[in-house]
Every structure is written in structure tokens, then in C-alpha cells.
Structure 1
């Protein structure tokens, strides 16, 4: 597996003019765009991604993660979405995600996770199906070319028939452009993203040339295949020699298929001006919980991997620069406000808490109440005609707790229809929520959250929530 891997003259003039026009069109980008090996903003400033991935599709209630990721210095967040392999993320939900990115001054890399391990993992979607999903979202993506990169499909081939990646990727890019997408596109490598057979490396030039806008960036995922400095530097150098743009779209400090050399990955990325995105913020399962960067989505509880990524040498805090569209002197106007790692040559586990798509958000924190030991904060994260999505954050006090119960009373006849990360019972307008097995124990000052969908009619005032530690 580890292979080291007069009429004639007029016609000529017309042809030249056509080529020039095409080239100018490709370069006259309205948003994030490629120039040689670099990613540039619309104003011409270089942008180097520094950030992490957030498993939104499995944890839609963790809306605070965007602000938390930003608070640690990131300039980019890669957001996991699904078009149906898991609970589908709707257009309104994706619009809400973009809103949170813009509000938190982050570049938003949106990725479709459905394609993970196609050809090797059961249930995986094709790149064609991923493009269908993006076309269905076009109305909410158009106009965000300055803020959004579309990662067409996560790790779109496993180790079976990876050579098919080239034609499938070219076709996906062509369909995206034919549909009118002006965004920078990102394409992941086959071999579960790690390209150990060098299919992406050796065919990247033809794939890039197949994009009429010449605005595609390539993404390599570095886990156990990249466990030596020589392998890392050789792969990065191949793209720089070819003059093609590359980002490290995922990497970790450990993995079951080998121990990636994260020190070299980060040092080489910094010295070469290559973007990197760690995997992943929180919520990993299936034996790779060690890839969590914070414990239980709590920004105050960085893991050793989180400390390394955000605060270590060549880390995010020391090297990330915010996109100038948000802060720079020549920034363009910003738009109106708006886990399973797929990380190895073997199939990735897929945590799948019960969740629902979240329509467009308008956070409105409610007053928090609390009894001894913990406090609870209720907020409406999304609201639409007749329905809403809510989230309650539970925080331990000055001492650790082993369980919690949150209660509140609705004043406007609201009802809860679905819940995740808690057990909820209702009696009339009174609601009682209790922890589930994995989120009851909280250290002093630690927090967790649960989410729910509900219905409303006429009014939807946020009630005060009270928390009791068990």
C-alpha cells in the first residue's frame, strides 16, 4: 500500500484574441482566486489558510464553534456538510453557516463529506452527486465568492480504482463552471485524501487546465502516509515545481495508519506559504477521539493536539493573518451578515448524533438561570414560519459535576419536536432536559450543549432556563 511513491492571418488574430480574452477572464476574478501557486483575494492580497475543520453536519447545534475557532486565531474554517448520506444540510442551513463565517471574519471552506471513500466505503456518493448538491445550493452561495471556497467532495475515492479520480474531477469542475459557479474550487486527492499512488500529483496540471477559470486549488490530506520529512517536502515541492496551488486540507498529530510528522508539515507549510487546515475541532468518534482539538466543543479545554495546532511552533496563532476583506486597508466590502475524520487509507468512522438541518440563524441569547453547581443559557439559533431551532448551553460552576437537569417553561405555547444530546420530557408548557451518558460529567467551569427543534405560533419568546447539578 505504501508505494513511494489576409483570411488565414485574420483567423490567427481572431484565435489569439480569443485566447487573450479567455486568459483575462480567468484572471479577472471577483473573489478568492489562484495565481500560480498562491491564493489571492479579489484585491490581490495573498491569503494563506490557517484553520481547522468543524463537523457541522453531525453537530448542527454547536453554532458557537465558529466564534471559538476564531478566538484562537484561525482565519479559515472548513465546514463538513452532507447532501444526504447523513442528515442533509439545507440551503437555509448553509446560508446560516456562511453568515457565521462572515460574522466571525473567517473564510469558509464548505465541503461535501458524502463522497468520502467512494469505491471502497459503502454508501459513499459520486462526485456527480456532490455537484448536484452544490447546484441545489447555488442561490445561497452566489455573491459569496470573497468568503467561500467550495471543496467539491471530501476524499472522493478510497483505494479502489483511484485512477478514475482524474476524469471524475475534471467532469465535476466542468459541471460546476457550466452551472455558473465563480468560486474558487477545491479538490481532494484520492486514496482517502492521501494520494499515496500520486494520481492527483501526476494529473493535477491537466485537471487545472480543464477549469475554464483556472481557479482550482488542490488539497492533500496528510496522515500516516506522510510520516517522514522527506515525503512531506517531496510532495509539497512537486506542486511548487509544477506551479500549481496546493493546500494541506487535513492533517493530525497522530493516526491509526501511522504517525504523521506534524512538525514538518507545519514548518514546511509556513516556509512555503502553503495553507493548512487541521482535523478537527471536536466530536470525533470511532477510536480517533485523539484528533479532537478541544474536549466536548469547549474552547477552554484544548487537547494536546489543539495546543500544538493553535499555540505551537508555526501554529495558527503565530502565523495566521485575517483575510483583508474583513480588516485590510484595501479590503473589499464584506457581504451582509449573513466526526469522523476522513483521514486515512482505511475507511473513516462516522459519528452521527441525531440531528436535523438548521434553517437560517439569528442568535438571540435568553437570560440564564441556575441553581447551585451549574447554569444554563437558552437561545433560539434559527427561526422560520411555524418552526425554530434552539440550543441550551450548560456550564458547571466552580466544582465538577456528574450530571445535570435543565428546566424551563414556555410562555407562548411552543412545543419541542426533536432533540439531540439530551433527554427531554414535557408536561404542558414545562420542559425538563437531562444529560445523556456522554455529556453529564463536566469539570469545573466546563460546558456542553444540546439542541432541539420546536414549533411556535404567534410568538417565540426565549424562556429563562434553570440548571440543577445531579
Structure 2
């Protein structure tokens, strides 16, 4: 992708339309079925702030890698993932069944899913790119996989929908796309990327964002800026993001890296500014980059144990994902992070068999010791996926703190011989989502899930 820096004088201030959005936006947000925008903030279905701390994953080019990639991304501490899809105009189309599977995997891994149509990248300059209108056709065609997922999914209409040619059409085209999606029955938070290969050096999105938000009957639009070479100083980062927050317009850094061929973005400033202003960010990208930008891989060859320097910076550095991410409240964790720490699978395997009767359930759990030594005493930690509450346990003991659970043995299940296993069960009540936990840790070591 070519992202050209423009030497422009400062552009005008954001349009002062915020007052037009006030009362109506608040009333509609209160009735929203899922994510929604209020006072310039992204709120979840429970009305709580949700600040994205996630990464991008190139699903459309690596569909066989996605299930493991999402599990690994979650294990590294992320609370969200932006998933690359194709409308079929440039690459192999991701159909409704495939998208439904991606959404299910996101939910299983307790990740908020931002779905984006990538075929629009650089429209007007990149010859093979398709229009926002074509992207809308795609979303409406796979609508059945999206409706009902408003608590878990945001729809990013089109990736970087204009290059550096004819980008002034962005405003009207974006308004038209939003209008068609609303008329077609999509009630999701809609994320819209900036023109100029996502970097908005022309300030087209910045200066028209208020009008675009006002044009949405649901007032439920999140603006996505991609920060590469255009944003190579703290002043540029702070000025751009600050104008949105000052005008109470919702903004997220949908892509950024620690270097780029068009200039060296200031990732430290991006992350620090996002953290101080409560703005989401999503690093590009988990793995699989090519065409000279392999340096943007967070993990080498999709191997979570081989983070690149960029991956270590994003996940483990100051203002990074591990230190700042809070899990979405829809998963029942109260905004906390998963107690299963990132790392390689330990010498254990857990089987979780769920019998769900709606308001109550049983779970039969087996812990297998796959090491060469006997385990004498153990703790098993996991996090429920919804509003489950344990009522009773057999062959073990349990403590629960909101969604977090710790299981400890009875005297007769204390010892697990090498190659052996122990089994126990629990009965509980639930409301809403009730699926198997995404991850388990035995004595702090992540277990494989059977």
C-alpha cells in the first residue's frame, strides 16, 4: 500500500455539529441493542465504556490460521480483533457461513470482533479496489450472519476506502453507505475508515466527521484513523486525536505500526495518547504480512511464542495491551482481564463438557496431567463466558469472583499421577451466553483444551 504524506497547511476546525446530536443521540443510545456511541464514547450493551486494545488479523488470506490466531491473540491479553474479510471483488469472498464461524470464534475467545471489508483499499487510486457501495452490497448479502450479534460485532464498512485520488468524495459516499446499511436492517456500530489510504492527511474525515455522524439515524458511527508515516511526531498524533475528543466525536486507531516505508510512525506517542484519552487502538497485524512490509508482523510465522520486536512493544510495552486492556463487559468479566496468563500450553489438558438447560447447567471437567511427574495439589483457573454462577461442586472445591473461578481439589482428588487425570463437576445457574471457557490454567500454566 502507498500512503503519501502531504505538506498541507493546517486545515479548518471540525464542524461544530455536536449540539445537534445531544438529546436524540442519548435517547437512541439508551435503546441500542448492542454497542453504541454516546457523548463521543463507544459503550457496550451494558452502557459501559469499551476501549479497544487489539490487533488486526488477515483472515481472508489465512483462513486456516484464524482459529488458532484468535486464541493466541486473546492469550496475549487483547480484548478485540479487527478481522480482514473480502467481498470477492479482489480476493476470495468470505461468505455468510465463514463470517458466522469467525464471529463464533471471537465469542469463544471473548474477543470483540471488528469485521472489515478490505477490497475498498485505496479506491480511486488502486486499480483493483472496489467502491464503498460494493462493500455495502456485501454486508447486506451476508446480513443473516450479522443480525443478532450487535453486542459482539462492529462492522467496519470498508478498509481505507479512498487513496489519494478523488478522496473528496469520501464524505457523501460514506453517508450514502451508512444510510443503505441502516435501511437494510443493520443496527451495529458502524466503523468508517479515513481516506488517503486511511491516514487522512487531507483532513477530509476530520473536518466532516460531525456531519457524517449526524447523517446516521442511529448516531452510531465510530471513526477509524490509520497511523503510519503521516503521524511521526507526538504533536501530530495529539493534534489529530485531540480534535476528535474535544468535539466529542468517537475515534479509534484502527491500524498502526512501529515503522513503515512512508515514514516512521511514533508508536510510543500513539499508544500513550490513546491511553491518556481513553481511545482504542489496534495494531497491524498478527502475522502473514508480505510485499516488503513483513516488519509489521507481531508474531513470526503465526507462532505466538515468537513475537517480533513490534509484537513485544505492542503487547508488553508501556501503554501496551497487557497493561491496559479490559475485557468487554458482555462476557461477564466485569471489565477484568483473563486470569489465564499468556504463554505456551503447559503439561496439562482440560476437557469441559457442558450440559445446558437454559437457566441451569452442569459442567463435567477432566484435568489430565501430561507431564512426566505426579502433581500433588493443584489449582485450576478459568473465566466464565457469561453470567454463570456456581451452585455446587463435587470431587473438588470452587471459589468464584464475578466471572473468575478457581478450582481446588478434595483430599481424594489432590494427586494427579503422570499421564493420569482427575474429574470433577459443578452445577450452576446462568443467563445469556453460556459456552465453555476459552482457556484454563493449572498452577498458573496454560493448559491445552480438548
**TM-score when scaled to structure 1?**
0.66
Question: Does the 8 Å CA contact 2:41/2:248 hold for their aligned counterparts?
Answer: no
Match status 1:114 vs 2:119: yes
Match status 1:38 vs 2:45: no
Match status 1:142 vs 2:147: yes
Structure 2 residue aligned with 1:67: 71
Alignment RMSD, CA only? 1.5
Please list, as runs of the form range in 1=range in 2, the aligned pairs for 1:407-426 lying within 5 A after superposition. none
Structure 2 residue aligned with 1:357: none
SS at match of 1:301: coil
Structure 2 residue aligned with 1:206: 211
Structure 2 residue aligned with 1:358: none
Structure 1 residue aligned with 2:322: 317
Match status 1:82 vs 2:86: yes
* Structure 2 spans left out of the alignment, 5+ residues: 1-5, 11-21, 337-450
Q: CA deviation at 1:45?
A: 1.1
Distance 1:23 1:314, change over 3 A: closer
Structure 1 residue aligned with 2:56: 53
Once the two structures are superposed, residues 43-74 of structure 1 have per-residue CA deviations (whole angstroms, 9 ceiling, x without a partner) of 11110000000000000000200000000000
Question: Does the 8 Å CA contact 2:255/2:282 hold for their aligned counterparts?
Answer: yes
Structure 2 residue aligned with 1:401: none
Question: Does the 8 Å CA contact 1:27/1:213 hold for their aligned counterparts?
Answer: no
* Structure 1 spans left out of the alignment, 5+ residues: 6-18, 332-470
SS at match of 1:119: coil
Question: Does the 8 Å CA contact 1:26/1:212 hold for their aligned counterparts?
Answer: no
Distance 1:293 1:329, change over 3 A: closer
Structure 1 residue aligned with 2:417: none
SS at match of 2:115: strand
Question: Does the 8 Å CA contact 1:4/1:196 hold for their aligned counterparts?
Answer: no
Q: CA deviation at 1:25?
A: 3.0
How many residues align structurally?
318
SS at match of 2:56: strand
Structure 1 residue aligned with 2:128: 123
Structure 2 residue aligned with 1:246: 251
Match status 1:259 vs 2:264: yes
Distance 1:313 1:246, change over 3 A: same
Distance 1:206 1:138, change over 3 A: same
Distance 1:32 1:303, change over 3 A: same
Q: CA deviation at 1:20?
A: 7.0
Structure 1 residue aligned with 2:171: 166
Once the two structures are superposed, residues 216-237 of structure 1 have per-residue CA deviations (whole angstroms, 9 ceiling, x without a partner) of 0000000000000110000011
Question: Does the 8 Å CA contact 2:25/2:38 hold for their aligned counterparts?
Answer: no
Distance (Å, rounded) in 2 between the aligned partners of 1:232 and 1:21? 31
Question: Does the 8 Å CA contact 1:170/1:211 hold for their aligned counterparts?
Answer: yes
2:312 to 288, 307, 310: 307
Distance (Å, rounded) in 2 between the aligned partners of 1:266 and 1:280? 15
Structure 1 residue aligned with 2:399: none
SS at match of 1:249: strand
SS at match of 1:61: helix
Distance (Å, rounded) in 2 between the aligned partners of 1:27 and 1:207? 21
SS at match of 1:194: coil
Q: CA deviation at 1:320?
A: 0.2
SS at match of 2:63: coil
Question: Does the 8 Å CA contact 1:118/1:126 hold for their aligned counterparts?
Answer: yes
Q: CA deviation at 1:161?
A: 1.1
Please list, as runs of the form range in 1=range in 2, the aligned pairs for 1:289-308 lying within 5 A after superposition. 289-308=294-313
Distance (Å, rounded) in 1 between the aligned partners of 2:305 and 2:9? 41
**Off by >4 Å, runs of 4+ in structure 1:** 19-23
Distance 1:145 1:128, change over 3 A: same
Q: CA deviation at 1:283?
A: 0.3
Structure 2 residue aligned with 1:231: 236
Distance (Å, rounded) in 1 between the aligned partners of 2:173 and 2:267? 31
Please list, as runs of the form range in 1=range in 2, the aligned pairs for 1:177-216 lying within 5 A after superposition. 177-216=182-221
Distance (Å, rounded) in 2 between the aligned partners of 1:155 and 1:27? 31
Q: CA deviation at 1:23?
A: 5.8
